Amino acid sequence: LDGVALEAQAFAVLAVRAADGLALSYASTTATDGAVTGGALHRAQVVGAQLARQVSGRNR
């Protein structure tokens, strides 16, 4: 596999697991005290066209 594609797949798997609140690492693989999640997920307040308007400076 292409290294870039493999890295993209790995991050995609981690992102989905983190979004679902599943563990990303376990004590048996990284010597942590227990299963470790990906932290907190902060969802954007605006999406799509709203975000494009804000980025372009057109608020209305």
Q: Is 24:13 a contact under the CB 8 Å cutoff?
A: no
Determine the pLDDT at residue 53: 77
Residue in 54, 24, 53 with CA at minimum distance from that of residue 39: 24
Domain count, the chain: 1
For residue range 24-51, list pLDDT tens digits in order. Answer: 999 898 888 899 988 888 777 766 777 7
Q: What is the extent of the structural domain holding 28?
A: 3-56
The model's pTM is: 0.59
